[in-house]
Amino acid sequence: MFPDVLTVRVNEPARGKVFTARLGSLGIGVQSRTLDVDEQEWEVCQRCPHFRSCYDLGMAKLALENALR
């Protein structure tokens, strides 16, 4: 559902099933940050019987990745 944010590379999309993140740069530093949501995949995920556990795992992973930064 979520991309692996620890391995995001500048100017390359980091794709998850639903969310895609991108850091844009034209030189030194990051000039833009974008987040795209695939609404159709989000609907598919919400209908899945494992949605809650998948979502909880993804959020826990994001929290831990944030703590490592």
Between CA 35 and CA 13 the distance in angstroms is 9
pTM of the model: 0.84
Residue 59 has pLDDT above 90, yes or no: yes
Distance from the first to the final alpha carbon of the chain: 21
C-alpha–C-alpha distance, residues 41 and 32, integer Å: 25
**Chain segment 13-57, per-residue pLDDT in tens:** 999 999 999 999 988 888 999 999 999 999 999 999 999 999 999
Domain ranges of the chain: 5-68
**Edge-to-edge, what's the strand order for the sheet holding 32-37?**
14-15, 19-24, 32-37
Q: Does residue 61 register a pLDDT over 90?
A: yes
H or E stretch at 45: helix 39-47
